[in-house]
Amino acid sequence: MPTLTSILYALSITGATALNYGSLNNNEKQFSQEFRDNYSILKHYGGNGPYSERRSHGISRDPPPACTVDQVIMIKRHGERYPSPSLGAGIEKTLSKLHAANTTFAGDLAFFNDWTYYVPNACWYNAETASGPYAGLLDGYNHGTEYRDRYGHLWDGESVVPMWASGYGRVIETARKFGEGFFGYNYSSNAALNVISEDEGMGANSLTPVCYDDRDAGICAALTNVMPLFKVAAERLNAQNPGLGVNETDVYYLMSMASFELNARAFSEWIDVFTQDEWVSFGYVEDLNYYYCAGPGDKTMAAVGSVYANASLTLLNEGPEKTNSLFFNFVHDTNITPILAALGLLTPEEDLPLDRIPFGNPYSTGDIVPQGGHFTIERLSCAQTAISNAGSYVRLVLNEAVVPFNKCTSGPGYSCPLEQYSTIVKGLLPDYVGQCKVPHKDPKSLDFWWVFNTTTELNYRTGPVGCQEGAVDF
């Protein structure tokens, strides 16, 4: 007769098998075979809506086995915000048209009878949101806590760590909230916020460099916000509400308004006013705007992005022994897309067409620069393994998904050996000063990562929050 000990031992070595057999006997699959349309409205807002992680290649976000992260260079877009004043003007004009209809709305717009606009007044345009589960300030704080968990080993708990923000109100507030999340109780004493002016005269010593010779501006200006399905949507809403009289442009503004609503509220009824196909069209219009106005479709943007890419390459080769381990930077969306263009990341083989949607397009801005989007460069220190040598490697992470660097994936976790990464990047980067005709009097290189303040005087706002606009809103 078996003893209790022998029974327990038998269970310990066969438990997993027994569980698997039990699943099979119940006709349950261990893995689902359903991979459906992967549809999410957050991927068709362009850069307007709440942050969402990038759809990944299935590569683990954690460091590869035998590797540790010894240096991090991150650049983050500010958190979720209200619409810009110019977009707000178009939205208000369309809303006025709806109110002027003086009717009880029906069909897809029935909710509009009781709906109120989520922007309290014009002062709030451009401001970071502070309400709702997708709030911009919450985004910054949560991101800081997540990176403390991921990269906290790079801070000794005592040193003062500089951070850098471009000189715009919502960008600075995002940096502050991120700092509070990362440093916790020590933020007031161990973080040193450096604010870098957005003035064009900063030249290359800037987080927001500009090109003085933007020859592609005409292409950008020629883009239209109208897609065929916008007309279909307008006809549907007019049929449901006779006399309404909305057109394709009104539909674009209503969809833009909807894409910002979740930044301030937990729920938007406007989302269901439009079909999935219409949202896909809207998202592609946003892709076109970023591609041709701030991305690889504008041939000057690679030169603009080369400023950051070149300086970060210097940091990686110096390593944490000569510089620091943590470099947290905060900017706008259109300061990140040029960096990706400079590195040749996600650039389509051909320019995006203006007359159709190219499915499989790698330049999907919902995956690239959502509100709160960020691009992180990791320097890995790896031990010898059976398939790779000991040494330093580079891994690129966009919105928490590992993005293999072009064709250089021979390192652990599909990373790129630092030496090879350096060679490739040096061959890619154009001359910013020459191509963009930087004035002689302006700085020709980025040096604030090496020359920075360690005071805490900018860590907090010193006065009340007034109207939200302003480039020097400390």
Q: Which residues are catalytic?
A: 78, 333
Residue in this structure with the two tokens 């000794």, named with its chain if needed = 156
DSSP H or E segment with residue 194? strand 191-196
| Residues in contact with 56: Cβ distance below 8 Å, sequence separation at least 6, in sequence order | 401, 402
363 exposed, middle or buried (CB, 10 Å; 0-12, 13-18, 19+)? buried
What is d(CA 386, CA 360) in angstroms, rounded to the nearest whole number? 35
Q: Tell me if 88 sits within 8 A of 117, measured CB to CB.
A: no
CA 448 to chain centre: 23
- Token readout for 237 is 């809403």
Q: Can you state the angle between helices 169-183 and 136-151, rounded to 10 degrees?
A: 40
Q: Tell me if 81 sits within 8 A of 136, measured CB to CB.
A: yes
* Nearest one of 140, 155, 128, 163 to 459, comparing CA atoms: 163
Q: What angle do CA 165, 297, 365 make, to 5 degrees?
A: 60
Q: Tell me if 416 sits within 8 A of 408, measured CB to CB.
A: yes
Q: Tell me if 439 sits within 8 A of 213, measured CB to CB.
A: no
What is d(CA 351, CA 361) in angstroms, rounded to the nearest whole number? 10
What is d(CA 228, CA 236) in angstroms, rounded to the nearest whole number? 13
What is d(CA 444, CA 441) in angstroms, rounded to the nearest whole number? 9
38 exposed, middle or buried (CB, 10 Å; 0-12, 13-18, 19+)? exposed
Q: Tell me if 238 sits within 8 A of 286, measured CB to CB.
A: no
According to DSSP, residue 42 is labeled: G
Name the E strands within 407-446: 416-417
* Nearest one of 198, 179, 197 to 189, comparing CA atoms: 179
* Nearest one of 385, 428, 316, 383 to 68, comparing CA atoms: 383
Name the E strands within 136-189: 161-166
